[in-house]
Copies of this chain bind each other. A is one copy, B any other.
Amino acid sequence: MSASSLDLAVLGLLKEGPMHGYELRKRLAFTLGPLYAVSYGSLYPCLKRLRKDGLVASAEHPEPKRRRSKRVVETKPATSRRKQVYEITPSGEALFFEQLELGAIYDTDRFQTRFAFFRYLPGDERIRLLEHRKAYLEEKLAEFKDTLRATRERIDAYSRSLIDHGVAATEQDIAWLAGLIDQEKAAAQDGGRSIRGS
């Protein structure tokens, strides 16, 4: 069974507790970073598919959220759109761990999605993935700088600026990874604790 980045993220968030779609969307943007936001047109079909595959279970929200001292009208229609609360199933958990271990080093989105749930991986696995990702970015960067150096043609100033910025951004990524690796290694020696407490 295959799973997209979104599948993984949804399962990972639902591990922390039942949630409905709308809330899930907010948590997604919040968990994965400033510019990541998934649309409902993507999220709801995803949830539907996960439910169909038995990876999540859903129940209509039962609680009519009664306001104090106000008579609650029972007999909610129940026929129409009610809040669907999703929770992860055991096979959903199994898929989550299976997918989390795959790594997915070459794609920024996939890597970051996994990174957001790193606490579910053992320390050595975390280090392995971080180093693998870092090596990949370094390789890409070196490759690119070679091309740049080998180029005889004069390059347009805007294109040049774009490339320089891309290089700087990638270097910042690499530095971030290097810092994380250091922390992980320190934590590993420090009794196997994760960076959580640092």
Contact = CB atoms under 8 A, between A and B. Distances in A.
Contact of A32 (B30, B35, B162, B169): B162
B34 A170 contact: yes
A68 to B, nearest CB: 23
A94 interface: no
A161 to B, nearest CB: 7
A170 B116 CA distance: 18
Nearest to A194: B157
Question: How many copies of this chain are found per oligomer?
Answer: 2
A178 interface: no
A64 B10 CA distance: 56
Contacts of A32: 159, 162
B119 A156 contact: yes
A169 B172 CA distance: 8
Nearest to A151: B30
Given A30-B147, A151-B30, A157 B196 contact: yes
B35 A166 contact: yes
A157 B198 contact: yes
Interface of A: 30-36, 108, 112, 115-119, 140-141, 144, 147-148, 151, 156-159, 161-163, 165-170, 172-173, 176, 180, 194-196, 198
Given A118-B158, A161-B195, 12 more contacts: A30-B163, A33-B163, A33-B167, A34-B141, A35-B108, A115-B158, A119-B156, A119-B158, A157-B198, A165-B173, A165-B176, A168-B172
